[in-house]
Amino acid sequence: MKVRDRMTENPITIDLNACVSDAFALMKEHNFRRLPVM
């Protein structure tokens, strides 16, 4: 099995300099428990 077979294409991420409130809103909007920071 290759990583490409399990990866998420075009993942939703948040910028390192974003406000915590923006991260929380994005997580709530998409029903995420985790959010990659780029």
Q: pLDDT tens for residues 1-38?
A: 999 999 999 999 999 999 999 999 999 999 999 999 99
Domain map (residue ranges) of the chain: 10-38
Calpha distance 31→36 (Å, rounded): 14
Confidence at residue 13, expressed as pLDDT on a 0 to 100 scale: 97
Q: CB neighbours (10 Å) of residue 16?
A: 7
Calpha distance 1→11 (Å, rounded): 20
Q: How far is CA 37 from CA 2, 8, 22, in A?
A: 24, 15, 12
This prediction has a pTM of 0.74
Six-digit token string for 9: 């294409």
Three-class secondary structure of residue 37 per DSSP: strand
